[in-house]
Amino acid sequence: MKVIEDPKQLRNEIKKLKQQGANIGFVPTMGNLHQGHLTLVKEAQQHTSISVVSIFVNPMQFNNKNDLDNYPKTLAEDCAKLEQAGVDIVFTPTAEVIYPNGLAEQTFVEVPGISDSLEGELRPGHFRGVSTIVAKLFNLVQPDLACFGEKDFQQLTIIKKMVIDLAMPIEIIPVATVRETSGLAMSSRNNKLSSSEKEIAPKLSEVMNELASKVQSAPQECKQLIKDASHTLDDSGFKTDEIHVVDPLTLAPLNKDSKQAVVLMAAFLGETRLIDNVVVDLHP
């Protein structure tokens, strides 16, 4: 496995591999890797001959400097996991090479509409930061295919639209959320939970699945069902941050033509904000 920090070296390496006929599968990450990331890697490897993983904690997508400074950095452990997983190239650029002129001067990519709702409303500029870095990494890595987790549902929806809108020749593969046996969605944030919080945490997916099946039978009751789910979570020890039930294609409220609904959950357990989502069919 090659660990490459310099974008020029990466470009040369990718050019050489492509000349040899390789096709490139890409998984962008911010490090602190867990089983969920390794599942994305496995998926990429199933479709392509060369797998590239980037590890870059992207300052442009953080609203809060404290969150950026405290983001866990575990490069040595991450590289060991990727080596074990059979990854070919790990790209670990610095913020200085990615944003040589600073963030204020940076050209950006913004996917309109769906970047401003839901999580985007709470974190202004976050998805602009995500689409910009992903576009930039796509330009550097030149992948044929890239894998994104369904866990970050809005991010996945935005990237799919960006690739279509900008005619990027890259196939986006959505990968199902990896869960603990308890149902808890895997996340780097789970490491921050105390042992008593860990016992409560699986309740999030339980309440989400109950809500999803109720929405399936009565989508017009959505508002009341969301209120009930929020109370159930709060009674279990969470502080509900947001629950939305929207159309997965547009991230807008359900309408009579919606074929599916996505239930998006965000709740605090102590200081840790956990998220999860599930898509269900409507009008079966």
What residues are labeled active site?
37
Query: Number of residues in contact with ligand PAF, rule: CB under 6 A?
Result: 10
- Closest contact distance (angstroms) between CB of 29 and ligand PAF is 5
Q: How do strand 50-55 and strand 145-149 relate by DSSP bridges?
A: unpaired
* Shortest distance in whole angstroms from residue 60 CB to ligand PAF: 8
Note whether 51 binds ligand PAF by CB under 6 A.
Answer: no
> Burial letters for 213-244: b for 16+ Cβ neighbours within 10 Å, e otherwise?
ebbbeebeebeebbeebbebbeebbbebebbb
Binding letters toward ligand PAF, positions 113-152, x by CB under 6 A: -----------------x--xx-----------------x
Of 152 and 228, the one with the shorter C-beta distance to ligand PAF is 152
Question: Residue 82, Cβ neighbours under 10 Å: how many?
Answer: 24
220's CB contacts (< 8 A; 6+ apart) are none
Nearer to ligand PAF, 89 or 225 (CB): 89
> Which of residues 28, 120, 143, 248 is near ligand PAF by CB under 6 A?
28
- The least distance separating ligand PAF from the CB of residue 149, rounded to whole angstroms, comes to 7
Contact 149, 36 (CB under 8 A): yes
| Rg, Å, the chain Cα set | 19
User: Cα–Cα distance between 7 and 4 in angstroms, integer?
Assistant: 8
187 binds ligand PAF (CB under 6 A): no
Residue 136 or 203: the one with the smaller Cβ distance to ligand PAF is 136
DSSP 213-254: HHHHH-GGGHHHHHHHHHHHHHHTT-EEEEEEEE-TTT-SBP
Q: Is there binding between residue 32 and ligand PAF (CB under 6 A)?
A: no
CB of 175 to ligand PAF, least distance (A): 12
Q: Work out whether 258 is an interface residue with ligand PAF (CB under 6 A).
A: no
Q: Where does this chain bind ligand PAF (CB under 6 A)?
A: 28-30, 58, 61, 130, 133-134, 152, 155
